[in-house]
Amino acid sequence: MKTETPKAQLKRQFRELFRCMDFVADNYLRDKDLPDKTVERFAEVYQQLGTAWQFLGLQCKHWDGYRKAREGKMACRICGKIKGTDEHWLLLPSKGRKRIGRRATPTSKEVSPTEKQALVVADTIQFHGATVEVKVANAYKKAWPGGKGGDMTIADDRIIKLREGQVECWLDTHLVHVRWKPKPRGKREPNYGAFPWELSKAKLRNFPIILEYDTKDRFTGLTILRPASPERTGRARPRGKKAP
Ligand SMILES: [Zn+2]
């Protein structure tokens, strides 16, 4: 027996669904002689079918492209979704690799007047007990704390925060910051940083690390200064050659 491809299966399901919607509309919603109660009932049925349409549409990859729809909009030839409208739900496979979104980076060199306007992505996922936060923003103006003395400019950045149990890992353009038992904002004690000076100077250049501790000299985490990527500085060393 020939197995149906996901696309063929979805197309068939859509055909069946649209046939049901047309049936309800033609027989119960357009006929003015029916009692109000009946029309109301079938309007509800039509709504439910609309919900099914929305969720079925999440499987559609719009394989066959778009056709012209009303008001100059483009609609998918299979699911009828209007190009460019927001999806409110995501559909993920229960097995295999899950993918949500694409790697986002700042989109502009301009400084936005507000943080909201500068935001490219701000999203969070709880994944099997680990929490991942992604925040990407263009540069924006922000008032100095205290409300006096004009604005400061917050640089554009891509910030990833991973929280697993008692460890929080923060990654941005310049830093990898690992925190041990992080306290919630507002409850944080002052943190101090120091380089591991005990290492010889020759070795130290290989350890771009700041060790952190609290007021009682307890270890609270470490910061690893990310080395600049060779593309950015143009100072890549040939392979196999050691630094002078
Ligand atoms: Zn589609």
pLDDT tens, 35-92? Answer: 889 899 999 999 999 999 999 999 998 999 999 988 899 999 999 999 988 888 888 9
Q: Ligand 1 centre from 65 Cα, in Å?
A: 8
What's the rounded mean pLDDT across residues 166-188?
Answer: 87
Q: Ligand 1 centre from 130 Cα, in Å?
A: 32
**Would 18 be classed as within a structural domain?**
yes
Q: Is 54 helix (H, G, I), strand (E, B) or coil?
A: helix
Is the pLDDT at 241 greater than 60, yes or no?
no
Q: According to the model, what pLDDT value does residue 228 have?
A: 65
Determine the residue type at 25. Answer: A
Rg (CA), the chain: 28
Which residues are within 8 A (CB) of 157 and not within 5 positions of it... i.e. 6 or more apart?
A: 106, 135, 136, 137, 172, 173
Q: According to the model, what pLDDT value does residue 143 have?
A: 87
Residues with a beta carbon under 5 angstroms from ion ligand 1? 60, 62, 76, 78-79, 81
* The two structure tokens encoding residue 42: 């079938």
Pair 221, 123 in one domain: yes
Q: Ligand 1 centre from 225 Cα, in Å?
A: 45
**Would 105 be classed as within a structural domain?**
no
* Cα–Cα distance list, 173 to 101, 176, 208 (Å): 20, 9, 15
Beta strands in the chain (DSSP E): 66-68, 74-76, 119-127, 130-137, 140-143, 151-154, 157-164, 167-171, 175-180, 192-194, 209-213, 219-225
Instruction: Find residue 130's DSSP bridge partners.
Output: 127
Beta strands in 112-156 (DSSP E): 119-127, 130-137, 140-143, 151-154
Q: Ligand 1 centre from 49 Cα, in Å?
A: 17
**Would 224 be classed as within a structural domain?**
yes
Query: End of a domain among 55, 76, 97?
Result: 76
Q: Ligand 1 centre from 83 Cα, in Å?
A: 9
What's the rounded mean pLDDT across residues 104-130?
Answer: 95
Is the pLDDT at 112 greater than 90, yes or no?
yes
Comparing CA positions, the residue from 95, 85, 25 lying closest to residue 60 is: 85
Pair 67, 147 in one domain: no
Q: According to the model, what pLDDT value does residue 131 have?
A: 97
Domain that holds residue 42: 6-76
User: Looking at the 3D structure of the chain, how many domains does it have?
Assistant: 2
Pair 128, 224 in one domain: yes
pTM of the model: 0.68
Q: According to the model, what pLDDT value does residue 1 have?
A: 62
Query: End of a domain among 54, 76, 98?
Result: 76
**Would 203 be classed as within a structural domain?**
yes
**Would 101 be classed as within a structural domain?**
no
